[in-house]
Structure 1
Amino acid sequence: MEQSNQSCTTMRPMEKAIRMLAGTFVTISVILGYFVSPYWFLFTLFVGLNLFQSSLSGWCLAEQILSKLGIGVESQASQTSKSPKR
């Protein structure tokens, strides 16, 4: 079985943004669930289920929202500089 030596530094900007958002939501909801109300754990469950369904379907609502806000989207100039020249 081949192993990939891909690190987080080679991830697409959108992947980093999604991971950061999900990690932040889970951490905050666990803290709120412990100190405020156990009902906050339902938000943790929602984030986990959303991650699971997006891995199966390839569709992620957070990705659409972040891209509309311009977060995690590479600028047009950086995309053209990375593309191979003919």
Structure 2
Amino acid sequence: MTLGRAVMLFAGCMTLLSAILAWQVSEWWLLLTAFVGLNQIQTSFTGFCPAAMVFKALGAKDKAVFS
């Protein structure tokens, strides 16, 4: 799996998990959704993504996401 796809998969899973937890447990879990969204916006401007650094260290190949 490429680095970009791994980051997108992780962000999508966190968003869905947050929505499920907000529905089942507490609406405070929507703060996780807000954090993920803000992190995506921040990454688009700065290029700094902590999740990408972790996935790269785990061996994900750095390749274009869309081709």
Tell me which interval the TM-score lies in, with the shorter structure as reference length.
0.7 to 0.9
Which one of the candidate residues 53, 64, 81 is aligned to 2:42? 53
Q: Please name the residue that 2:54 is paired with.
A: 65
Residue 61 of structure 2 aligns with an amino acid whose one-letter code is V
1:68 CA drift (Å): 1.2
Structure number with higher relative contact order (C-alpha < 8 Å, ≥ 6 residues apart) = 2
> 5+ residue gaps in structure 1?
1-11, 75-86
1:73 CA drift (Å): 2.1
Structure 1 segments (4+ residues) deviating >3 Å: none
Q: Which has the larger radius of gyration?
A: 1
Give the TM-score, by structure 1 length.
0.67
Give the TM-score, by structure 2 length.
0.85
> 5+ residue gaps in structure 2?
63-67
